[in-house]
Amino acid sequence: MAGSNLTTTEYIQHHLQNLTFGLHPDNGWSIAKTAAQAEEMGFWAIHLDTMGWSIAMGVLFIWLFHKVGKVATTGVPGKLQCAIEMVFEFVENTVRGTFSHKNSLVGPMALTLFVWIFLMNLLKLVPVDIGPMLFAKLGVDTMKIVPTTDPNGTLGMALGVFILILFYSVKVKGPGGFAKELSFTPFNHWSLIPFNLVMEIIGLLVKPVSLGLRLFGNMFAGEVIFILIALLPFWVSWTLNVPWAIFHILIITLQAYIFMVLAVVYLNSAHEQH
């Protein structure tokens, strides 16, 4: 079992537990030792691993693009510059084909979402035992290194997109225009305003929830499969792990792309006048 003395259930629970810091009723401000302690800390507990690795991947993204921007040349580009230019052009073409309005924020936002989520997803290719094993030597009992396998991380990003949707819906259409759109869509009659409001508000709230849970669900399912493969005998584990990891490169990229595209589509809808 990947060199562990834990039972199968304990092994799976250990790998799926976040490094949680919060106010415990009995232990005060502390790091949870078990999933039960983490649950007892309540809503305001912080997943330190999700926050730490998210910030680390964000810093890596900024550093990488800044580095390439400083040394970029119009002559024969290096391999890294070629790769960054391909990503930039890919995102630019996607935004141009999806967003039909003028907004200088949408392009940089789309690029940030795609690369940032891709880098966070890419951590999934690190063998599932490596992270916990290395941090255990530093005295850290639990460590999930893939932020997108935590719904708090994915829903946090989705909430940021949702705030932008509301902001531009009000900015472009005005408070009255936005309220009118909610009140008279899809049925343009005053008697159906209550029905319209319920349907439109539910549809509005579903956007960030579906955006965050879609990314979380796909990444979490992949993580569980990696953990289950690690439970198998060594030779079977490596036989299955390598092809699954190669296949997962597609999933990693696809999920980053889907999150980016849906965010742009939702913002495009926020700019449209009905």
Cα–Cα distance for residue pair 180/70, rounded to 1 Å: 48
Cα–Cα distance for residue pair 60/173, rounded to 1 Å: 37
**Residue 82 token pair:** 């070629």
**Residue 200 token pair:** 């439109």
237 is catalytic: no
191 is catalytic: no
Which one of 54, 169, 196, 218 is the catalytic residue? Answer: 218
**Residue 102 token pair:** 């003028």
Strands 20-24 and 46-47: antiparallel
Which one of 93, 96, 188, 210 is the catalytic residue? Answer: 210
218 is catalytic: yes
Which one of 183, 214, 237, 268 is the catalytic residue? Answer: 214
**What values do phi and psi take at 21, rounded to 5?**
-120, 130
Phi-psi region of 2 (alpha: psi -120 to 50; beta: other; left: phi over 0): left
- Which residues are part of the catalytic machinery? 210, 214, 218
